Amino acid sequence: MLFMVIETFKDSDPRPIYRRLRDEGRTLPDGLTYVGSWIEASFRRCYQLMECDDPRLFQQWVLEWRELGDFEFIPVVPSKETQAVVAPYL
């Protein structure tokens, strides 16, 4: 299952996150897969697309990163797949 992870950087400062990424990597538990990410130009938030079948893995991951920001997890479906679901109702 795909999730959009919205991470709000503390004090709009991405440097602590990037330092940890540089020094330790993503430290994702097995079964949680990073797909890609986008950063707001203001450095306020990061939008990450991740894949996971067990939401408890997000809980485990956030406990390791929580002091650097706040996290929101939104299950998402690719547009093409959603179009196939909606098509019979058009």
Rounded to two decimals, the pTM is: 0.85
Span 69-85, pLDDT tens digits: 899 999 999 999 999 99
22-48: average pLDDT: 95
pLDDT given for residue 25 in this prediction: 92
Segment 73-80 long-range contacts (CB within 8 Å, at least 24 positions apart)? 73/3, 73/4, 73/5, 74/3, 74/4, 74/5, 74/6, 75/1, 75/2, 75/3, 76/2, 76/3, 76/4, 76/49, 77/2, 78/2
CATH architecture of 2-89: 2-Layer Sandwich (3.30)
